[in-house]
Structure 1
Amino acid sequence: MSGRTVSSAIFVLVLGSFFATLCDTFIKMAGSDVAIFQFTFLRAVFMCLILCPIVAFRFRHYAKSTAFLGLKLHFIRGNMWVLAAVLLVLSLAELSLATANAVFYTAPIFIMLLGAFFYKERLTVDVVFAAVLGFIGILVILRPTEVSSGMVSAILFAIVLATNSLLIKRLPQQQDMLYGLFVTQLFALPLAGGLAFWEGAAFQLDVLMYSALSSICSILYSVSCLVGYRYVASSQVTSAEYSGLIFAFLIGWWVFGEAPDLGLFIGSFFVIAPLLYLSHKDIRRLRKEQLLSNTRSNLGAG
């Protein structure tokens, strides 16, 4: 699928959401007693090994001068990736696959709030309302009678993910995204490797397998985002990514025997529905702007 039409872009993003859920599945399958830092380091290593030949092939067609652009941002994002990867393992070790993913989908809410704080983006009543409903949804999903490490890790993961996503806006536009992902993972290696050495855990073969599989799925998700958002306005297709919650429900039930309760569905609705509304509102705005532009063009031609 080329991603040049809305329907093909949606299909690519749905496929990407499936790979993202598979990535979480393999991480959860590694077990709650997995050596977290070793696992994180191996994931970074495999992502570098997989991306290296792809980037080397693609880089022949790009200006070599772009190679050293944005290194400071890649360094920051690489180290933030390590933090996010650790939080992801901690949250999936304690929470069910569907519950964790439902909390992860609050990341767009944090993106909007942090965007208003760091980039002075306009914070509308709709955005504030979506944020309030999203946080209510978190409470309904988690129903915290006591604060657990898994709950805190899931929320912090969404915040770190949102912050890392906002930093993408500052990356050089002329730089290939896959090259940027490769450099980011390279910068993640020293911190992840140092933490793994400090952890001192014995090497486990199953950790090697699950880290490799989760890395492949993570890269496939990144590629799907590159294709899905490349030619089509993000507001027209971003809702397709919420299909990942359906995959999380199904895989969690099929693989781990997790039965989602009514609270999880209600909480997910509170999180997803406002975001779908904002996306729909953005689509209407773009259509009006396009209609106005076409009208002006026709008048000018006449």
Structure 2
Amino acid sequence: MSAHHLAILLLVLGNFAASVSDIAVKLLDGDVPTFQYVFIRQLFSLLLIWPLWHRQPKKERALISWKLQLLRAHLILMGSGCMVIAITHLPLATANAVFYAAPLLMLPLSVMLLKETPSLGKILASLFGFVGVLVVLRPSEFHWAALFALGTAMTLALFNITARRLPKEQTVVTTLYWTSLLSLPMSAILCAIYWQPISNTSLLLILASAGLILSYNGLAVAAYKRAPAGNIAIAENSGLVFVTLFGVVWFSEVPDWLTLVGILMIVVPLIPWRSLRFRPAAKGA
């Protein structure tokens, strides 16, 4: 198997894991307070990451740009909280379609925060994708939980944008470790305020969600190290396919044709069309 095909397979597996994590959250059905879920997930993630972080040389374990790391840690808290509410109250396909607006939101954010100048093509593609979000949400049938789905998309976009400011010498494991650790104080306070006893089943679902999200992060890093991002990013769209199918099978959430059209409008601008162009094989190949 070539490195390119292996990278796509890893990314598809990662999106499968993330989709199953969404099922775990959906099965909680709001029985666990949002901040309690976030705290337990972040604590478990930290425990899973710690051995990998500790094996690194001391220099690579250091906290660099702590203010930026603190900001990104709290973006995780806000995004995770919004995600739980959105998935609990919206169909899986609808919630995830709005989550996929994050890359589209990165365009205006990159202009405002990084002073980047996007091409006209990117601007038009992003506008097309935003119209797709409106089609999915349908203002005439607007559900309040959609605001939390948009909140997740915004925090994801900010999280990705701020990643460009991280020191290049800092490893992925170290980044994940410090963002998890720095998110604990605030999440612990909020968790204590809203704490309530939870069942063993709910605890297992939270732990499963945390492990699956970490699996996605690890598989995504492994994939993008093996192939250029533009050549394999299309595999990220497999996540929408998985959650749509899971929604139909597990929760009888059959999307109507308008929702499917909106999802398609959101996904199309995210496809790296240039990398999909046919390239003739070299002579002698």
> Do the two structures share a fold, i.e. TM-score over 0.5?
yes
Q: Supply the AA of the counterpart residue of 1:25.
A: I
* Residue of structure 1 aligned with 2:123, choices 103, 120, 128: 128
Q: Which residue of 2 aligns with 1:254?
A: 249
Q: Which residue of 1 aligns with 2:8?
A: 10
Q: Which residue of 2 aligns with 1:71?
A: 66
Q: Supply the AA of the counterpart residue of 2:139.
A: P
Q: Which residue of 2 aligns with 1:89?
A: 84
Q: Which residue of 1 aligns with 2:40?
A: 42
Q: Which residue of 1 aligns with 2:283?
A: none
Q: Which residue of 1 aligns with 2:226?
A: 231
User: How far apart in 2 are the matches of 1:128 and 1:149?
Assistant: 28
> Is 1:235–1:283's contact at 8 Å kept on the other side of the alignment?
no
Q: What is the DSSP-based 3-state SS (H/G/I as helix, E as strand, rest coil) of the residue aligned with 1:68? A: coil
Aligned structure 1 segments of 4 or more residues deviating by more than 4 angstroms:
none
Larger gyration radius, structure 1 or structure 2: 1
Structure 2: 5+ residue runs without aligned partners?
Answer: 280-285
Closer/same/farther in 2, CA of residues 283 and 70 from structure 1, 3 Å limit: farther
* Residue of structure 1 aligned with 2:274, choices 278, 281, 288: 281
Q: How big is the shift at 1:258?
A: 1.1
> Is 2:100–2:266's contact at 8 Å kept on the other side of the alignment?
yes
| Aligned-pair Cα RMSD in Å | 1.9
Structure 1 residue 185 corresponds to structure 2 residue 183: no
Cα shift readout 1:62-94 (whole Å, capped 9, x = no counterpart): 352651222222211111101011000010111
Equivalent runs, 1:98-109 vs 2, <5 Å: 98-109=93-104
Q: Which residue of 2 aligns with 1:292?
A: none
User: How far apart in 2 are the matches of 1:170 and 1:7?
Assistant: 30
Structure 1 residue 196 corresponds to structure 2 residue 191: yes
> Is 2:63–2:178's contact at 8 Å kept on the other side of the alignment?
no
Deviates more, 1:256-265 or 1:84-93: 256-265
Q: What is the DSSP-based 3-state SS (H/G/I as helix, E as strand, rest coil) of the residue aligned with 1:203? A: coil
Closer/same/farther in 2, CA of residues 117 and 204 from structure 1, 3 Å limit: same
Equivalent runs, 1:127-166 vs 2, <5 Å: 127-145=122-140, 147-166=142-161
> Is 2:60–2:171's contact at 8 Å kept on the other side of the alignment?
no
User: How far apart in 1 are the matches of 2:168 and 2:200?
Assistant: 40
Q: Supply the AA of the counterpart residue of 1:280.
A: W
User: How far apart in 2 are the matches of 1:72 and 1:271?
Assistant: 33
Q: Which residue of 2 aligns with 1:290?
A: none
Q: How big is the shift at 1:133?
A: 1.2
Structure 1: 5+ residue runs without aligned partners?
Answer: 288-302
TM-score if structure 2 supplies the norm length? Answer: 0.92
Q: Which residue of 1 aligns with 2:22?
A: 24
User: How far apart in 2 are the matches of 1:172 and 1:66?
Assistant: 13
Q: How big is the shift at 1:210?
A: 1.2
Q: State the identity %.
A: 31
> Is 1:79–1:188's contact at 8 Å kept on the other side of the alignment?
yes
Structure 1 residue 117 corresponds to structure 2 residue 112: yes
Cα shift readout 1:81-116 (whole Å, capped 9, x = no counterpart): 010110000101110111111111111101122112
User: How far apart in 2 are the matches of 1:63 and 1:86?
Assistant: 33
